[in-house]
Amino acid sequence: MAITLDNASNNDTFVDSYMTKLLSQGALALRGRFFRVQCAAHVINLIVKSGLEELDVVIRKVRDSIKYVKGSPSRLVKFQEEARDKKIT
């Protein structure tokens, strides 16, 4: 038997009490070592969410840089010259 849940604290309380009951009855293999398994989809979701939060700062900086360059014709010309010198399309 295994239960897959997210990381909510109320789930911990439930699992601990249920596992204790099952252990006292000898109903779990390996003393319940693998009774609770973290939900892979939930863990991946947390990782992606965290990564996107980090990217949000970078994206905002890139957008601000673009606004700055486009905000002045002379800055735009200078940017285009630098890009051309460095062979960046």
Helix 40-70 × helix 73-85 angle, to 10°: 110
Q: Note the pLDDT of residue 41.
A: 85
10-23 pLDDT tens trace: 888 888 888 888 88
**What's the pLDDT tens digit per position in 22-68?**
888 888 888 777 777 777 888 899 999 999 988 998 999 999 999 99
Spatial distance between the Cα atoms of 72 and 43, rounded to a whole number of angstroms: 45
Contacts for 25-28 with beta carbons within 8 Å, 24 or more apart?
A: 27/1, 28/1
How many CA within 13 A on the CB side of residue 67?
6
The model's pTM is 0.44
